[in-house]
Structure 1
């Protein structure tokens, strides 16, 4: 009987994502033992420091560095990430498999609808992209940095006297917290972080057993969509701490990518949209990045890169 050790972060959401990923595999492969192993990340151990500083201290990503190290060392066979938390480049010897479908990609406002927020409302979010997009639409809003897992962030509506908090709809739905959503923000106006709603399934390149077992789990269409988003992000030399939003959507053999870069204060925003063959997602991502650069995206990103780290 074969065993695959599946690693993830310790949060309730990470555990829910592992259950979601493994449920069909356990039915399909009853002779394989799938064992879950929790791996603590810097972003989980330090919930006060800004994520950019935690990432810099860890030498990588606040939410993936330790898991990737465990994978390289052979302590686990598979890592189930939130794809939006992953840097666009894999460490040597590691690869990403196609994600198994995708949850709701949109951001959710909890506590109030956007139109119902009073002048000067306090909005809880630590994400540069969410802050920038909200301030572009409502310059009067006051962003309040919050960190932590999904339930504690929701609880900060009361403990920090916030008018609303912004969270990924995917995480709320995976945790059965749909009732907390006051409004899902329109994806056309608020494109999400590249890869939001999708799982990042990472293995060692030389692990033939994991590759064989997991080969049937991926969705090739979702894979193309997120590869376009991440290729655009890589071309802009961005990461999870910069205000870049993107959403790829396939219809038949055509893939359309919409992307947006916004200054942290919300004053400047550039957008681009382009369609191309579903079979060439990376090429589309690079082309969309070029359109954004033509509109001045580099100036926006250069202003924040000294303090933003993947």
Structure 2
């Protein structure tokens, strides 16, 4: 009997994502043993520092470095990431497989609707993109840095006297807590992080068993959508903690990509939208990035990048 060791972060959400990914595979391959392995990341260990600082210390990601190391060393055969947490470049010898069908891509407010927030309302989030987008729409709001997993951040509505918290809708729903969502934020104003809602399935290039078992587990439409989003981010030389939103949506053989870059104070925002063939997602991502750069995106991003 073959065994595949599947790694993930230790959070409830990460474990739920692994269960979601493995459920159809266990039905298709009853003779394969899928063993889960938990790997703790810097972002899970350090919940006091700003997420941007943790990401910089971790080489660009607070939530993937240790898992990647375990994959490279052969401790695990597969990693199930949240795709939005992954850097756009793969380490040598590793590949990203096409992800399964993406879950809800939207951001969600819990505790209040956007219109229901009082003037000067305190809103909890650790993501620079969410802070930037919220301040662009509601400059009166007061962002409060919060860290932790989904249940912890929801709990801070009470413990830190927040008026609302903003989280990925996919994570809330995957944990069965969808009833706590007060409002799904409109994607036109709040395009998500590139890859949000999708799983990042990473394996070693030379692992033939993993490639054979996982072949066909991905959704080609989701794959094209997130490849366009991540290509745009890569062209902007952005990482996981920059205020960049992207949303790719396929309609038949046509893929449309909406990109957005916002200054952290919310005062400046540039946007671009373009359509192209579904079969050329990376080309579309590069083109949309070029339109954003033409409007001054580089100056906005330079303010949040770590000093060289």
For the aligned pair, the TM-score class normalised by the smaller chain equals: over 0.9
Say yes or no: does 1:233 pair with 2:233: yes
2:60–2:240: 8 Å Cα contact kept in structure 1? no
Q: 1:89-108 counterparts in 2 under 5 A? A: 89-108=89-108
What is the distance in 2 between the residues matched to 1:127 and 1:301? Answer: 14
**Which residue in the other structure is 1:248 paired with?**
248
Task: Spell out, residue by residue over 1:180-212, the C-alpha distance to the aligned partner (whole angstroms, 9 max, x if none).
Answer: 100000011100000000000000000011011
**Which residue in the other structure is 1:114 paired with?**
114
User: Shift of residue 251 of structure 1?
Assistant: 0.5
Say yes or no: does 1:262 pair with 2:283: no
User: Shift of residue 58 of structure 1?
Assistant: 2.8
**Which residue in the other structure is 1:51 paired with?**
51
Say yes or no: does 1:185 pair with 2:188: no
Which ranges of structure 1 fall in alignment gaps of 5 or more residues?
none
Count of matched residue positions in the alignment of Structure 1 and Structure 2: 308
**Which residue in the other structure is 1:140 paired with?**
140
**Which residue in the other structure is 2:164 paired with?**
164
Say yes or no: does 1:63 pair with 2:63: yes
Bigger drift between 298-307 and 80-89 goes to: 298-307
TM-score relative to the length of structure 2: 0.99
User: Shift of residue 240 of structure 1?
Assistant: 1.1
What is the distance in 1 between the residues matched to 2:60 and 2:144? Answer: 25
2:55–2:241: 8 Å Cα contact kept in structure 1? no
What is the distance in 2 between the residues matched to 1:164 and 1:184? Answer: 13
Q: Per the alignment, in what secondary structure is the counterpart of residue 272 of structure 2?
A: strand
Say yes or no: does 1:73 pair with 2:37: no
TM-score relative to the length of structure 1: 0.98
**Which residue in the other structure is 1:273 paired with?**
273
What is the distance in 1 between the residues matched to 2:47 and 2:135? Answer: 24
RMSD of Structure 2 on Structure 1 (CA) = 0.9
User: Shift of residue 163 of structure 1?
Assistant: 0.2
Q: Per the alignment, in what secondary structure is the counterpart of residue 146 of structure 1?
A: coil
User: Shift of residue 60 of structure 1?
Assistant: 4.1
Task: Spell out, residue by residue over 1:222-270, the C-alpha distance to the aligned partner (whole angstroms, 9 max, x if none).
Answer: 0000000000000000011100000000000000000100000000000
**Which residue in the other structure is 2:2 paired with?**
2
What is the distance in 1 between the residues matched to 2:58 and 2:139? Answer: 34
User: Shift of residue 33 of structure 1?
Assistant: 0.4
User: Shift of residue 50 of structure 1?
Assistant: 1.3
